[in-house]
Amino acid sequence: MYRLIGTAASLASQDVGSMVDRAKRSAIVYAIAAVLLLTAYAFVMVVVYQLLADAVGSGLDAALLIAGATALVAILALIVMALVNRRQKRMAARRNAARRMQLLALASVAPSLMRSKPLLITAALGALAYFALNNSDDGDD
């Protein structure tokens, strides 16, 4: 819920029309670049197929080699992505644990601050609210 308030305030302070125009331009340029890159990839695969067919002697063997290499690269990419995701989850868990510890430490100090000056009470309550909002604002969970 707090994320929506920040997003709404950010949108209200910007020119939505120019933002939409920029997004449309970016989408068109990315689409053209994607089509051109896919075309280049297809031509490279045709050349690799021809070279392998000449070297191996059979078109079927060349196609199987290309398919196997492509599958191997895809599997490696999936493994790398799984490792990166697992590392990111662990880091998010550590950050959340550190935030909880900070919040707990602040909460344990709060009763002693309640007996002291009003400025310290205000600062402690502000810090408590900050850590509570920061803890619930993390989208990595």
- Mean pLDDT for the chain overall: 80
E-assigned strand segments in the chain: none
State how far the alpha carbon of 24 is from the alpha carbons of 8, 16, 18, 30, 33, in Å: 21, 12, 10, 10, 14
Residue 137 is predicted with a pLDDT of 47
pLDDT digit string (tens) for 44-58? 988 988 888 888 888
Map tokens 């197929």 to a residue: 49
What are the percentages of helix, strand and coil residues in the chain, rounded to 5? 90, 0, 10
Amino acid code (one letter) for 50: Q
Domain ranges of the chain: 23-132
Provide the 10 A C-beta neighbour count for residue 52.
Answer: 19
